[in-house]
Amino acid sequence: MTQEQVADLAGISRPRYRDIETGVAAARATTLMNVARALGLEMMMIPQAMVPAVEALLRPHDDDDLPAFISRPDDNDHG
C-alpha cells in the first residue's frame, strides 16, 4: 500500500502519516489504531501481567509447529 492509501483509510493526511511513519511526529493511540486497521491489523492493550500468557499463546508448541491461533479471513464470512 502507498502512504496515500494508508493515510486515506486511516483518516489522516499523507504528510501526517509520513511524519508518524518516520518518527518525526508522535501520534495519539486512536490514530495508531486507525493506521493499524488500515493495514489490516488490530492493536490491543493488555495488562503487563498478562504479557507472558499472551507470548506463550503466540509461541509454537513442541508437539507441532503451528501457531496458537491462525487468522482465517473466511471465518468472518457468514453468508
Each domain of the chain, given as residue ranges in start order, spans 3-64
Residue type at 73?
Answer: P
Q: Note the pLDDT of residue 1.
A: 92
The predicted model gives 56-74 an average pLDDT of 68
Q: Note the pLDDT of residue 77.
A: 55
Q: Are 69 and 57 in contact (CB under 8 A)?
A: yes
Q: Are 34 and 11 in contact (CB under 8 A)?
A: yes
Does 76 score more than 60 pLDDT? Answer: no
pTM given for the model: 0.63
